Structure 1
Amino acid sequence: MARENQSIVTQFVFQGLSSQPRTQTILFVAFLFFYLFTVVGNITIIAVIRADCQLQSPMYFFLANLDFLDICFVSSNIPQMLVNLLTRKRTISFSGCAAQMCFSLAFGMTERVLLGVMAYDRYMAICHPLLYTTIISRKVCIHMVMASWITSLLSSMVINSLNLRLPFCGPDILNHFFCKAPAVLALACADTAFTELVIFIFSILIVFIPFLLIITSYAHILSAALKIQSVHVQSKVFSTCGSHLMVVTIFFGTAICIYVNPKSRAPQDRDKVISMFYTIVAAMLNPLIYSLRNMDMQRALRRAMNRSKSFFI
């Protein structure tokens, strides 16, 4: 019965952010700028990290992976959004919606797990510096990144398989600007209680466990930093961790608001604004946060610019 009903709804129609042509044009220009800035900014940081020998540490290895995830995440949503802003026919096929939902969920979840891994890395570097190079080896770093990808991808596949097994027999108007799991779930013409429970459980596992790891890690880091006598060393510790904490606040704050309750009672417009913030603005801020607040990254960027100048002169 589910398969028969699924074949009735062959596509979804996005309600989008606005139906006013002028507003759509403004949004298109703004989102295109945000998208290009995000992609170029993150690619620049990845290139600098790979090229600079002084940035070959676990912290910057994780940062490069975080930047790559930002590119993947925004690319899974924004191009479709830009197309919808230019055309009156804001449709996406059922399979296309399933793919977008799967990738956006997987990339978003992986990013949050990786932020937890980065907090643990900072904890080991600051609280156990003598053991750091032994425990956090290159091999361990690769394994932790792979674990982040695999757990998030499997979680995304489970959520999507349950979502798409439900019957969709109309309406087909998706009250969002991209295929987000709760928005698609709201269109199912069947009891969604079990699927909502599964999404809630995975939200706890993927959002709150890394969040608790971050809170625990930074509690130990703060305790260790306050015991340091040197003001210079203290400021370096807080400067190193400050960028990561800002990114954590942005991503986990919005994730907690959105994913914990699949059928939020909050108004749909507010949900769209929050989704727009973590989908576009948060990913765009990452390059700025890490380049403006991180002294090592600033010096590496200056060295890269000097090499570029000498190459062209």
Structure 2
Amino acid sequence: MRFHILLTFGIVVWSCSGSEDDPVPIPILFQQFTFHQDMNKLYYGVGVESKYEGQMLDSVMIHWYGTNRGNTADALTLFDDGSHGDIIMNDDLYGRKIPNDSTTIVNILGDDSGYVFMDYVAMYGTEIVTVSDSFKIGNIIPRIESIFVPDTIIRPADATVSLHLIKAEVYDADGLGTIKWVGFTSFHVEGDSMMNNGNYIYLHDDGSDVVLYEPNITSGDSIQGDGVYSFRIAVYGSGFTDPDFQTRAGTFNWRFLTQDLSNDYSEAVEHEIIIQ
């Protein structure tokens, strides 16, 4: 059995045959890797020739090392039958998509924006061809760790205003300084319409040092720069008759998001709230 190893950072072909003939072109044509952070899934793909040195392709695998090539590799079979994350069957692009969790692999990815390492392996009868490769993960998307939102808000029965504190704790592997904004949209279920003209209601991590609305309304945030973003929602009592100072009653879906300075979004966190 002969082994061919191609290192993508420098083309090196190893063979135990000792032949002085010109090397046969490597049948592994290209490699792909994607970390789908929004779904927490890993995708591997590789284009291969169906025949090599007179022998048909038997199988394609990947040895996955995660963020350190010194790790013990996860061995994963890739497919070309339209299953397991492969997109198009019989197109000679072998792929696989797996969950990024310990039930599937040992070398899971966490909050790391460095490089990942893998070997793509194609087996042709007595021939085994390996391409060692690495990919840079790039920006890790921010995430919302938790939200503090009431399930029910009761409007005042008179012409007064009550303030209700809303909070969201966020995290970014590149540091809280990379958070661009945190906010939410509000959808009125019974009215089938967006509140605030569909615009985001922004939360603040300013320690309440900034007056947002006159005369002295601040965000209600406790500590500046701690990753907990806050805002006090004004709820108008049912005694107001001016349409500009009325809060609708009903069921609302609040959808929280955060965006970082790389313009990547977190996964959305949704919450249903009833205003009575």
Whether these two folds match at TM > 0.5 is no
Which of structures 1 and 2 has the bigger CA Rg? 2
Report TM bin, short chain. under 0.3
The answer to which structure, 1 or 2, has the higher relative contact order (CA under 8 A, 6+ apart) is: 1
Q: When the two structures are superposed, what TM-score results if normalisation uses the length of structure 2?
A: 0.22
Structure with greater proportional strand content: 2
Structure with greater proportional helix content: 1
Q: When the two structures are superposed, what TM-score results if normalisation uses the length of structure 1?
A: 0.20
